[in-house]
Chains A and B, each alone.
Chain A
Amino acid sequence: MNYPFWYIPHLGSGWVIGIIAIFHVMISQFAVGGGFYLPIAERKALRMKDPDLRSAWVKQLASHSKFFFILTGVFGTVSGVGIWFAIGLTHPEATSTLIHNFVFGWAMEWVFFLVELTTAAVYYYTWNRIDEKLHLTVGWVYAGASAATLIIINGILAFMLTPGDTWLAVAGTGAEASKFWNAFFNPTYWPSLLLRVCVCTSLAGVWALITSSRMDGDKQPALKTSMVKWSVAWLVPSFVATPFLMVWYLFMVPASQRALLTLGIDTINSGTFSTVTRMALVIIVTSATIVGVAYFLAYRNPTDFNLSHAIAVLLLALIVTGAGEYSREMLRKPYVIGRWMYSNGVRVPYVSRINAQGYLVTSSWVWGSAGVATTSYSRGEAIFRGECGSCHTLDGYRPLRQLLDGRDRANIRNFIVMLHQNKDDSPYKKFMPPMVGTEQDVNDLTDFLNAQVNPPVPAGQKPLLTAQK
């Protein structure tokens, strides 16, 4: 049930969200972790007995807070709006469900955003202009507000993986919002929150290494040494706690989705689809690399630690963040909202109705009126965009032309029928939604895909894009 006009060739619409989201997470989680880093570092500086080191720390922290303010205030907020834009286009049904359930949660979040943005500006502009204690208090207010944003958004993100039985019992009745707190404090809420707290503290250290690396180690060895070492220490809690939290998190995920992880361990054959396993490997290896690289390059050689080294650590952190977010998304397969909505926007209980009435007539945005001339190919293209387009492209990411290569029309049809039947023993059931629709829909989709895999494509065919229902 996606917008049929929203098709991103090569890249796929999922990656439009993915790219913006990974960039956003790198900054927004820094906004939370860095929000604690600044007042804790300032308090540490204010307690220093050596006046020279104390004033050098304060000067450096003022410089770091400028970097922090610009990065989070500009890029963090803009990319946050970008996510809304992208999810609204890619997953209109899922976005609608989230808004209907969590509108009050988002209202709270935006209040905290306002407090966050205001206090970040006040904190930066009032260095050495107001009383030290008051300045520190502003820092703590910022930290509290930014933590609140994490606490709220985590509930909504974790809900998408594990909405919980209580919410699922009322889903589709119109009374979903009455179970707001059940949906919010869902089974993966706490492990997910603690995992994100770990990521936030790590990113606070990683980004602080960027500004610390700019100090001249020859001219200010004591300052650079203390600052770099202290920033590296922010990576330690996450390194120690993450493995345990990860196990807890996975334990709370339904067994059917957890099985996706083991699917990829044994072989590449079935594992081809279980990229989540491979992403998990990337997370483990890269997290260990970050700690090793930070230890060798920063902790043991603080005065030589330069911007290239810091960027290397940052890029590694980007890999972990990207792989982490990707894994979280993949673990939800075949749903976009666990057990309630498939990743192509079809609600689980609607499957039988769509199978009886047809996909196009039940799709909100596709021209399905009587009297409109359509062909099997054009209907097939609309079905492809609606049912397949949120995960597949034709010749880029998860390319159907390549995945179906070597199959003739009958073979393609058999494959679609297998997806349509969605039997328990089908290996695809674990990570792909069923193909929904009537037999005519199956034939239409077959015709469209067959023309892509075994050209020529019928000339002059246009997809059904206009909303005239």
Chain B
Amino acid sequence: MTSKTASIYDWVDERLGLTELADFARHKTVPVHAQSFWYYWGGISLFLFLVQCFTGVLLLVYYHPGADAYESVRQITFVMHFGWLIRSAHSWSANLMIFSILVHMFSVYFMKAYRKPREFGWLSGMALLGVASVFGFSGYLLPMDDLSYFATKVGLQIPAAIPWIGPIIGNMLRGGLEVNEFTVQRFFALHVVVLPALFLPLFGFHLWLVQRHGNAMPPAEEARPFLQRKTMPFFPNFLRKDLAMWLISLNILALLSSVFPWSLGKQADMLVPAPQGIHPEWYFMSPFEMLKLLGMVKWLQGEPGEIAGILIFTLGILLWVLIPFYDTSKESGRRGRAAHYFGLIAVSALLATTAIGYWTIR
């Protein structure tokens, strides 16, 4: 460092404590083992969230919620220079973010990283996934083309099927009995104000917990003697690899956005019947299909089927969220094995119902 740079660094350091921070990061370590690959997924989700913020702000400049919604998205896509790219990047990164959060969640689950003292990390992560999926749902309607309009209509059937309070929730979200420009206004407010206001503090809390407790090791690694375990410094080694993963993620995003630009359908027309094959986004396909399947059971047709579906799904989510309080032991005993099998069943059920959903739409 030249003397001038050094003096500037000292000036900043004195006020912000950069050296302290660098020392701290250098002493922080990350476990190295066969499953280390899964540690990157939290960082990838964060990166994709940052892309969402950046592209979201750019879209915000030209997007008009309400009756002009479709026209403004049409202009972004077909008139603005590189507008199609920014919109594609926003939509693709939203989907990739949900995917990476799901991978992150399952890797945490199967590494049993929810056990003491990381219960709050798990709970805040689940809350973040919940908020992220509402982000996706609310954002999907905003272009107001036929696909997003009818998919939102179908999607709102899930909360509306909740006994007693369902219709009230449905009407509140729609801003009336039908999905229309008032729904767009509400979803827009939710998408750019309410959800970020929930997401950011939750996310800060989640990161603080990760920092406080460090990376959890899978049970097999924990069982190894301390001296046989390998670690690497967080700074700079892990951070460099993390940055490489971010670059790869950016590249995949650029590839998808460029080669498969997000399409814009016809303007939503409430008077025409829904086109064939309308379905919710892939991450909502599983509950949607479960409701459909249960409705096919003879003695569950109609409302009882919907209620049973909602109950089963809610129970499943509840069991999933509360897993840290069931599988508490460090040893992989009977409960640990049961949790593991529960996880496998959950993954299989999600994949199977999603696949059936897409298959039957065909």
Task: Say whether B259 contacts A296, CB under 8 Å.
Answer: no
Q: Note all chain B residues with C-beta closer than 8 A to A275.
A: 259
Chain B residues 244 to 290 lying within 8 A of chain A, measured CB to CB, are 244, 247-248, 250-251, 254-255, 258-259, 261
Which residues of chain A come closer than 8 Å to B77, judged between CB atoms? Answer: 267-268
Q: In this assembly, does B37 line the interface, its C-beta being within 8 Å of a C-beta of chain A? A: yes
**Residue pair A292, B259 in contact (C-beta under 8 Å):** no
CB of A285 within 8 A of CB of B254, answer yes
Q: Which residues of A contact B255 (CB under 8 A)?
A: 282, 285-286, 319
Q: Please judge, given known A-B contacts A268-B77, A281-B258, A304-B232, whether A297 and B244 are in contact too, CB under 8 Å.
A: yes
Chain B, interface size category, equals: 20 to 34
CB within 8 Å of B: which of A207-235?
Answer: none
Distance of A268 Cα from B264 Cα, bound (Å): 10
Please tell me if the beta carbons of A268 and B244 are within 8 angstroms of each other in the complex: no
Q: For the complex, what is the distance from the CA of A265 to the CA of B255, rounded to whole Å?
A: 15
CB of B81 within 8 Å of the partner chain? yes
A293: contacting residue among B237, B247, B259, CB under 8 A:
B247
Contact of A312 with B248 in the complex, beta carbons under 8 Å: yes
A300 at the interface (CB under 8 A from B): yes
Tell me whether B345 is interfacial, beta carbon within 8 Å: no
Give the distance to chain A from B138, nearest Cβ to Cβ, in Å.
24
B240 within 8 A of A: yes
Q: Do A297 and B241 form a contact, CB below 8 Å, given A267-B79, A271-B84?
A: yes
| A177 interface hit (Cβ, 8 Å) | no
> In angstroms, how far is the closest chain A Cβ from the Cβ of B22?
16
A418–B248 CA distance with the chains assembled, in angstroms: 44
Interface residues of B in 210-248 (CB under 8 A from A): 232, 236-237, 240-241, 243-244, 247-248
Give A289 to B259 CA distance when docked, in angstroms.
17
Secondary structure dominating the interface of A? helix
With A268-B77, A268-B78, A268-B84 in contact, do A296 and B254 touch (Cβ < 8 Å)? Answer: no
> Contact: A266 with B37, CB < 8 Å?
no
Size of chain A's interface in residues, with CB distance under 8 A?
26
Docked-complex contact A289 and B78, CB < 8 angstroms? no
Asked if A269 is an interface residue, CB under 8 A from chain B, the answer is: yes
Q: Which residues of A contact B78 (CB under 8 A)?
A: 267-269
The A-contacting residues of B in range 312-357, CB under 8 angstroms, are: none
Number of A-B contacts (CB under 8 A): 70
> Which residues A264-318 have CB closer than 8 A to chain B?
265-269, 271, 275, 278-279, 281-282, 285-286, 289, 292-293, 296-297, 300-301, 304, 308-309, 312, 316
Q: Which B residues lie within 8 Å of A316 (CB)?
A: 248, 251
Q: Which residues in window 60-83 of B have CB below 8 A to A?
A: 77-83
In the complex, A307 Cα to B21 Cα: how many Å?
Answer: 33
- Residues of B within 8 Å of A301, CB to CB, are 237, 240-241
Whether A300 and B251, one on each chain, are in contact in the complex, defined by CB atoms closer than 8 angstroms, is no
A24 to chain B, nearest CB (A): 21
Give Cα A297 to B246, complex, Å. 12
How far apart are the CA atoms of A309 and B237 in the complex, in Å? 14
Bound: A275/B258 CA distance, A: 8
By a CB distance below 8 angstroms, the chain A residues around B236 are 300
**Across the interface, do B241 and A289 meet the contact criterion of CB distance under 8 Å?**
no
**Contact (Cβ within 8 A) A281 B84:** no
A317 CB to closest chain B CB (Å) equals: 12
Q: Are A266 and B81 in contact (CB under 8 A)?
A: yes
B81 touches A265 (CB 8 A): yes
Check A297/B84 contact, CB under 8 A, given A282-B258, A289-B247.
no
In the bound complex, do residue A286 and residue B254 qualify as a contact, i.e. CB atoms below 8 Å apart? Answer: yes
Does the CB pair B258–A289 fall under 8 Å? no
Given contacts A275-B259, A296-B240, A296-B243, contact A265 B82 (CB under 8 A): yes
Q: Which residue of B lies closest to A326 (CB)?
A: B259
CB pair A281 B240 closer than 8 Å = no
Is A278 within 8 A of B259, CB to CB?
A: yes
In the complex, A260→B269 CA distance in Å? 35
Digit string of B23-67 for contact with A (CB within 8 Å is 1, else 0)?
Answer: 000000000000001000000000000000000000000000000
Tell me how far the C-beta of A293 lies from the nearest C-beta in chain B, rounded to whole angstroms. Answer: 5
Chain A contact residues, CB within 8 Å of chain B: 265-269, 271, 275, 278-279, 281-282, 285-286, 289, 292-293, 296-297, 300-301, 304, 308-309, 312, 316, 319
List 10 A-B pairs, Cβ < 8 Å: A267-B78, A278-B259, A282-B255, A289-B248, A292-B244, A296-B241, A300-B236, A304-B232, A312-B248, A319-B251
| Given A278-B258, A304-B241, 12 other A-B residues pairs in contact with their CB atoms under 8 A | A266-B81, A267-B83, A268-B78, A268-B84, A275-B259, A279-B259, A281-B258, A282-B259, A296-B240, A296-B244, A301-B237, A312-B248
